Structures are given as C-alpha cells and as structure tokens.
C-alpha cells in the first residue's frame, strides 16, 4: 500500500483495469493429466450425488477449506462450477460459498459418496 504522493494508478477506478483480472489470488496452475482425470472423475461423481441426494433435500456439499480453515457450503451448481474452473473453464470461487446456506442441507463429499454408493448398490441389486 503506497500512501505517498506517488503517481496514481492510471486505471484507478476504471472497471476495465486490466489488473483487476489478476488480483484474484495466484495465477492458475495448469493441471497435470492426472489432475485433470481426478477433476473429471469428481465432476461425474458430483452429478451422481446430485441425482441421488438432491431429491432427499440435500442442497450441496460442505468442504473443509485448507486455505482459511473454515467450512464452506457449495450448492450443486457452484461446486460443479468450481470443478470446471479447475479445468481452465473459469475461476474458482471457493471463498464465495452459498449465500445463507441451510447448514443441515449440506453434506460432506465423503457422506455423499457413501450414501450414493449405498443407494446405487440397492438399486442395482437383483
């Protein structure tokens, strides 16, 4: 922060400030092929979670954030958007969780996986 009488940022207050595109965290790291595979698998899993849990009144996923140590609540769409962002189709918004989420309507990824696996095992039986 420069509080001296130095030159003003020539783009100060300009919504087209090119720097505004850059000040949202570190530059994105390209994913390795393995990481891409993982994210694609997560997206597929998320879709099955939503199919299975959505009708049960579950609104999304909770994530323990390694960055800020808080728990974040992601609706299905936001979670999918974050995963797609990792693939380079946008930005992650991990610190912009759902607005006023109903905490009881969100489950952890592991819970969603266990529940979905159980339901799929039941429906495939016979």
Min CB(67)–Zn ion separation in Å = 5
Min CB(57)–Zn ion separation in Å = 25
95 sits near Zn ion (criterion: CB under 5 A): yes
Q: Which is nearer to Zn ion, 56 or 71 (CB)?
A: 71
Q: Which is nearer to Zn ion, 52 or 78 (CB)?
A: 78
- Going through 15-105 in order, the beta strands assigned E by DSSP cover 60-64, 71-75
**Distances from the Cα of 115 to the Cαs of 3, 39, 42, 53, 66, in angstroms?**
55, 20, 15, 8, 24
Min CB(65)–Zn ion separation in Å = 3
CA–CA dist 89, 64 (Å, integer): 23
**DSSP state, residue 32:** P
Q: Beta strands 71-75 and 60-64: pairing type?
A: antiparallel
Question: Which DSSP helix (H) or strand (E) runs through 76?
Answer: helix 76-84
- Write out the binding residues for Zn ion, residues 39-78 only, by CB under 5 A: 65, 67-68
Min CB(13)–Zn ion separation in Å = 28
Q: Candidates 2-10, 23-31, 73-81, 88-96 — which segment interacts with Zn ion by CB under 5 A?
A: 88-96
Q: Which is nearer to Zn ion, 55 or 66 (CB)?
A: 66
Q: Which is nearer to Zn ion, 78 or 116 (CB)?
A: 78
């Amino acid at each position: 922060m420069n509080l001296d009488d130095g030159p003003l940022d020539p783009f100060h207050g300009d919504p087209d400030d090119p720097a505004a595109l850059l000040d949202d965290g570190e530059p994105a790291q390209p994913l390795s092929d393995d990481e891409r595979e993982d994210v694609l698998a997560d997206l597929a899993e998320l879709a099955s979670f939503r199919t299975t849990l959505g009708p049960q009144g579950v609104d999304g996923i909770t994530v323990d954030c390694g960055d800020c140590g808080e728990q974040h609540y992601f609706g299905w769409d936001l979670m999918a958007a974050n995963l797609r962002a990792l693939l380079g189709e946008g930005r992650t918004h991990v610190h912009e969780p759902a607005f006023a989420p109903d905490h009881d309507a969100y489950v952890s990824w592991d819970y969603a996986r266990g529940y979905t696996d159980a339901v799929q095992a039941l429906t495939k039986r016979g």
